[in-house]
Amino acid sequence: MELRSGRESDVDNWKEVNLIYNSALKQISTKLQILNDEFQHVHRYNPIEHIKSRMKTSESIVKKLKRHGYESTIENMIQYVNDIAGIRVICSFTSDIYQIAEMLGNQSDIKVISIKDYINNPKPSGYKSYHMLVTVPVYLSDRIVDTKVEIQIRTVAMDFWASLEHKINYKFERNVPVHIKNELIECSKMISELDKRMLSLNEEVQAIGLESE
């Protein structure tokens, strides 16, 4: 991403960064909504339960830069912080996650930079989600800006677990007691089993529906 030359202050630059990243979020959100609508039209089924988007606060960005030993500059924010703009896609079933990821990856104007599959390879904490780092072109009046967006795709159950883990980490300032960590890991295993059983049940219902047509 390149900022306009001739800016008078970091405030102006930060406003421009916000404008560009918010525009990127709108584009990705619209793409997801269109894919969901198309899926309903073709398959009579919506894979996406809901979509959440957020911009990382300047305070959080500065903390992340300091944690990794970088100076707090606009340029470093753009270069080293990949989740300034983030979208979370909540699905019903695990199979939906990979379908959505594939459909997004097939969009001609989206470039996939990296993928982290924490579903097949969960974090030691038990965290599961599918992460995509992509760039999408933002069309401004005088240029096109390829802008990074982090996309997290997970089931409702995975999102419930991740939300609770986040609250616990915040409360204990990441110094979570061992027995609570272990309980979270066990809950993660239970959620994985629930997702598998719900997917199997849904596939059985879909198959019965096809037979009756």
Q: Which residues are catalytic?
A: 150
DSSP state at residue 44: S
How long is the chain?
213
DSSP line for 77-102: HHHH-TTSEEEEEEESSHHHHHHHHH
Separation of alpha carbons 44 and 115, rounded Å? 29
Separation of alpha carbons 23 and 19, rounded Å? 6
Q: Is there a contact between 107 and 149 (Cβ–Cβ < 8 Å)?
A: no
Greatest distance between any 2 Cα atoms in the chain: 68
DSSP line for 125-161: T----EEEEEEEEEE-SS-EEEEEEEEEEEEHHHHHH
Residue carrying structure tokens 């584009």: 27
Q: What count of other Cβ atoms lies within 10 Å of the Cβ of residue 148?
A: 20
